[in-house]
Amino acid sequence: MIDQEYWQTLDGINLSVPSCLDRGEVLRQLDSVLNPELDQSILGLGFVKSVECNEFHLTVELELPTYWCAANFSYLMAIDARRNLLQVPGVDDVTVRLGDHFAAKAIEDGVNSAKPFSDSFPDEAWDNLEQLRDLFLRKGYIGRQEKFLRQLINAGLSYEEISGLRSGDVVVDGESFWIHRDGAEAVQVGPASVAWRYFQRREELGLDCSPTGALIRDLRDQSVPAEILETYFAHSRTARVSAEATGTLCSVLLQARQAASRIA
């Protein structure tokens, strides 16, 4: 029986985790679970309400922005949270709770029994969640690439210069990333996290990450030539703005829901 608990509130998260478990690892595993539509961490979005432990069995409660959040997105986040937390050393089992959600029981029963989505929702159009996950990984790649491109442009690089860059020209130094080209002065570009997230998703999608490969590549793994790069960037920016608007709406709805629950 665990008799020593660690209580902490982190950005509204109620944690009850024994000292024998790595609390930082618990949070890191949750932080790597993404809202598939927004390509943002459920931890950063405030979707994690609580994490409790009893006899090395973790129970995580998620709180989504609305009662009607799509079942397939909710299932993806829930099953990823369970899968990730099972990677924490010392954790024997994980139960995910969704609270006030129209499909909470079906999602909880399926996720906590490690069943495929199609078993719980046989009539859903997206019966294969891996296909849906891949679709949003690709959509998220465009958003990450747009942020990366924007940093290059803001640093004063022309579309012609950008199209000629190779992945090996990017150097991360501390909290920033730089462009180092032979015979040219190094250019400090932007936050290291922007470059890291861009290359991380490229690798996840199996796109060329070799040092000699073109720095800007489309989803067909082809380089983007200078003559169309400006148009490509404009289309990517439109997708990013749309995703950010959706994220803002989700945040507002979740805050309203949490405020209502505190009043109740």
CB contact set of 121 (below 8 Å; sequence gap of 6+): 71, 72, 75, 103, 106, 127
pLDDT for res 193? 96
In the prediction, which pLDDT does 4 show? 40
Q: Render 188-253 in DSSP notation, one character per residue.
A: EEEEHHHHHHHHHHHHHTT----TTSBSSB-TTS-B--HHHHHHHHHHHHHHHHHHHHHHHHHHHH
Q: For 174-216, write each residue's pLDDT tens digit.
A: 999 999 987 788 999 999 999 999 999 999 999 999 999 999 9
What's the pLDDT at 11?
59
Q: Which residues pair with 40 in a beta bridge?
A: 35
Q: What does the pLDDT read at residue 242?
A: 80
Task: Give the 3-state secondary structure of residue 176.
Answer: strand
The strand pair at 40-41 and 5-10 is best described as: unpaired
Supply 82's token pair.
């369970």
Strand partners, 41: 34
Element (H, E) at 179: strand 176-179
So what's the pLDDT on residue 5? 44
46-63: pLDDT as tens digits: 999 999 999 899 999 999
Residue 155 Cα distances to 160, 177, 188, 226, angstroms: 14, 11, 7, 17
Place of tokens 């950010």: 244
- Counting as low any pLDDT under 50, the low residues of the chain are 1-9
Distance in angstroms (rounded) separating the CA atoms of residues 36 and 104: 18
